[in-house]
């Protein structure tokens, strides 16, 4: 496959281990049929464990082929129950395996095999959020109260983890408590939330501050119009809520799993002569297995190259890792000029516009300073009242989301993380703008009109 002659779409940036990326890419070709979906071709650009995600834009294995299949599946109500069952089963099993793994070949291989299967869940609910939101919006296109109806009836029936944490903090307000003991309890229950794949969990100091400064959660009053809903409208509103919950549920499992396995990967790091699990994060999954089985370490020049720039993609053919190790996997890694050429052609460019439009996820109107946040590495730039602009948000964004005046995202639907947190914290939010991160620049003053779904430069 000639990458440069294909059409690729940038999706999002995240901090993620290379071994996770290689398992995602293998899983994208091997395991999606289990979820009744076609294989998905992907590219990841890595600088260390900072990764930019790309999907094929059209044709076989593309984002749109995948989205069309997913949309067709959701036309059958039994598909939601199928997903609910498989997510619950897989997540519970993955969590058990994380607690049980040891730093030996057989244990890690078993974990990697199942982890690769579970990575398929990452794209399904993320893509479903956008697909279901768009279709639901079309069902209410002729209703002047459509957005209010969707927001009122599309909420999940069960609380997601961040909502559980906020209620736990609410329960402590005004009580005579041992703050440190309470913080220790919150660390145990919720400290894993921002860990994601390679990020730091919340500790006692964070929760002490939260307890001291917590403000009771705002009561979300739903607008409940006196209208009759069609069966299709009811079904898709129900879908939004259920996919919202599944999306946050699987995120919580992966965050907990990656936190649980860090001590085991510390052991592997010591065996490899490395300092910690973070160094092992620069290895592909098969390289870790090769080392545990035969003692073969990844070449030092490969690790150094990955800290600068590398490109990883999946392919049906068996491919060789350039600059070194070869193995029978559907993954290829490119370095240097080849990776840079891909990035130059397909990385999103700034756009000369003064406003963007999207879907309202929570109403309100506010002005503030734009801050483009692409990963947790940008958090230090964020100040109270700034307007958060991101491709998508994730659980590690929560500290800055609490400080933010409003949230704007390029991607996502009403089941997305940004939409959930906006409703939880009562912040104006516009999602699915496609290109807000490229239209606005850090430091510009912007107005967020989350009544009409417009963000504009002032």
Structure tokens belonging to residue 197: 């794949």
- 63 contacts 9 by C-beta, under 8 angstroms: yes
Average pLDDT for residues 239-245, to the nearest whole number?
92
pLDDT score, position 325: 37
Q: Which helix (H) or strand (E) holds 133?
A: helix 120-139
Once rounded to an integer, what is the mean pLDDT over residues 415-435? 91
pLDDT at residue 343 in the model: 93
Per-residue pLDDT at 1 exceeds 60: no
CATH classification (class only), 355-457? alpha beta
Q: By three-state DSSP, how is residue 161 classified?
A: helix
**What six digits make up the tokens of 318?**
């068996």
Sign of CA dihedral 401, 407, 411, 417: positive
Give per-residue pLDDT as tens, 158-217. 888 988 999 999 999 999 999 999 999 999 999 999 999 999 999 999 999 999 999 887
Task: Please say if the pLDDT value at position 411 is more than 90.
Answer: no
Q: Tell me the sheet residues that pair with 249.
A: none
CB 251 within 8 A of CB 391: no
Q: What is the pLDDT of residue 423?
A: 87
pLDDT above 80: residue 377: no
- DSSP strand pairing (8-15 vs 50-56): antiparallel
Higher pLDDT among residues 156 and 361, named by residue: 361
Give the whole-angstrom CA distance, residue 281 versus residue 269.
Answer: 10
Tens digits of residue pLDDT in 112-129: 999 999 999 999 998 898
Banded pLDDT at 322 (limits 50, 70, 90): very low
- CB of 22 closer than 8 Å to CB of 312: yes
Whether the Cβ atoms of residue 413 and residue 138 lie closer than 8 Å to each other: no
Judge whether residue 282 has pLDDT over 70: yes
Determine the Cα–Cα distance for residues 42 and 77; give it in Å rounded to an integer: 29
Q: Is-contact 167 210, C-beta < 8 A?
A: no
Q: What ranges in 214-284 are assigned the alpha helix state H?
A: 231-260, 262-271, 277-280
pLDDT given for residue 301 in this prediction? 86
pLDDT tens-place string over residues 66-85: 999 999 999 999 999 999 99
Q: pLDDT tens for residues 23-33?
A: 999 999 889 99
More confident residue, 289 or 158: 289
Q: Which pLDDT score is estimated for 376?
A: 76
Tokens representing residue 37 in the block? 């979906």
What was the pLDDT predicted at 351?
81
Distance CA 56, CA 43 (A): 8
**pLDDT for residue 323:** 34
All residues at 6 or more sequence positions from 277 whose CB lies less than 8 Å from its CB, including other chains? 261, 262, 263, 265, 266, 268, 269
The pLDDT of residue 287 is above 80: yes
What does the domain layout of the chain look like in residue ranges? 3-129+254-346, 161-213, 355-457
Mean pLDDT value across residues 87-96:
97
For the chain, give the mean pLDDT.
90
Q: Which residues on adjacent β-strands are paired with residue 456?
A: 355, 447
List, for residues 323-370, the tens digit of each pLDDT value.
333 344 678 888 888 899 999 999 988 888 899 999 999 999 999 999
Q: Which residues of 222-238 are buried (b: 16+ CB within 10 A; e: fewer)?
A: eeeeeeeeeeebebbbb
pLDDT surpasses 50 at 321? no
Q: What angle do CA 442, 445, 447 make, to 5 degrees?
A: 120
């Amino acid at each position: 496959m000639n990458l440069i002659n294909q059409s690729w779409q940038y999706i999002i940036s995240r901090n993620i281990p290379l071994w996770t990326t290689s398992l995602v890419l293998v899983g994208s070709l091997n395991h999606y049929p289990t979820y009744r979906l076609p294989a998905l071709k992907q590219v990841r650009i890595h600088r260390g464990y900072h990764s930019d995600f790309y999907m094929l834009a059209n044709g076989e294995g593309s984002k749109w082929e995948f989205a069309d299949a997913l949309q067709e599946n959701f036309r059958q109500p039994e598909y939601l129950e199928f997903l609910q069952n498989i997510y619950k089963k897989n997540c519970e099993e993955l969590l058990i395996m994380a607690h049980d793994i040891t730093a030996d070949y057989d244990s890690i291989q078993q974990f990697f095999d199942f982890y690769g299967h579970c990575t398929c869940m990452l794209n399904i609910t993320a893509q479903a959020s956008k697909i279901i939101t768009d279709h639901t919006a079309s069902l209410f296109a002729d209703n002047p109260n459509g957005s209010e109806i969707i927001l009122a009836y599309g909420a999940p029936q069960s609380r997601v983890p961040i909502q559980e944490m906020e209620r736990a903090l609410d329960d402590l307000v005004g009580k005579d408590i041992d703050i440190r003991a309470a913080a220790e309890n919150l660390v145990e229950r919720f400290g894993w939330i921002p860990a994601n794949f390679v990020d730091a969990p919340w500790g006692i100091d964070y929760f002490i501050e939260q307890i001291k400064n917590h403000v009771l959660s705002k009561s979300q009053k739903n607008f409940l119009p006196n209208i009759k809903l069609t069966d299709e409208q009811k079904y898709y509103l129900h879908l939004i809520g259920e996919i919202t919950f599944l999306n946050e549920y699987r995120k919580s499992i992966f965050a907990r799993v990656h936190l649980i396995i860090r001590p085991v990967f510390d052991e592997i790091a010591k065996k490899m002569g490395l300092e910690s699990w973070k160094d092992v994060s620069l290895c592909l999954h098969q390289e870790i297995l090769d080392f545990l089985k035969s003692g073969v370490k990844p070449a030092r020049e490969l690790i150094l190259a990955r800290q600068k720039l590398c490109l990883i993609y999946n392919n049906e053919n068996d491919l060789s890792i350039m600059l070194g190790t070869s193995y029978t996997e559907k993954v290829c890694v490119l370095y240097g000029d080849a990776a840079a050429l891909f990035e130059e052609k397909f990385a999103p460019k700034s756009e000369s516009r003064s406003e963007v439009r999207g879907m309202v996820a929570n109403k309100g109107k506010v002005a503030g300073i734009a801050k483009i946040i692409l990963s947790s590495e940008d958090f230090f730039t964020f100040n109270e009242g700034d307007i958060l602009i991101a491709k998508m948000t994730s659980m590690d964004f929560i500290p800055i989301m609490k400080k933010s005046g409003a949230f704007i995202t390029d991607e996502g639907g009403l089941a997305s993380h940004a939409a959930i947190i906006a409703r939880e914290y009562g912040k104006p939010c516009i999602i699915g703008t496609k290109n807000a991160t490229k239209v606005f620049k850090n430091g510009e003053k912007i107005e967020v009109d989350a009544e009409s779904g417009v963000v504009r430069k002032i």
